[in-house]
Amino acid sequence: MATRTLLLKHGGRAYRVDVENDVIRVEGRAVPVTQTAPSSFRVGGPLAHKAWAVVVGETRWVYLDGQAYVFEMERRTPRRRAAAGHAELTAPMPATVRSVQVAAGDSVKRGDTLILLEAMKMEMPVRAPEDGRVSAVHCAPGDLVQPGAVLIDLEE
Q: What pLDDT is recorded for position 47?
A: 58
In percent, how much of the chain has pLDDT > 90? Answer: 22
pLDDT at residue 99 in the model: 95
- Tell me: the pLDDT tens digits for 7-61? 776 666 777 777 776 677 777 777 776 666 665 666 666 555 566 666 666 677 6
Residue 99 C-beta-side C-alpha neighbours within 13 Å = 9
Residue 67 confidence (pLDDT): 67
Q: How many CA atoms lie within 13 A of 54 on its CB side?
A: 15
Tell whether the model's pLDDT for residue 121 goes beyond 90. no
What are 122-142's pLDDT values in tens digits? 888 888 888 999 999 999 999
d(CA 53, CA 30): 22
Q: Spell out the domain ranges in the chain.
A: 4-73, 86-155
pTM above 0.85, yes or no: no
Query: Where do the DSSP E strands lie in 39-145?
Result: 40-43, 51-56, 59-64, 67-73, 86-90, 95-100, 107-108, 113-119, 122-127, 132-137, 144-145
CATH class of the domain defined by 86-155: mainly beta
- C-alpha 54 chain-centroid distance: 10
Reply yes or no on whether the pLDDT at 108 is more than 90. Answer: yes
Between these two residues, 79 and 104, which has the higher pLDDT value? 104
pLDDT of residue 133: 95
How far apart are the C-alpha atoms of 154 and 90, rounded to whole Å? 11
What confidence score (pLDDT) does residue 19 get?
Answer: 75
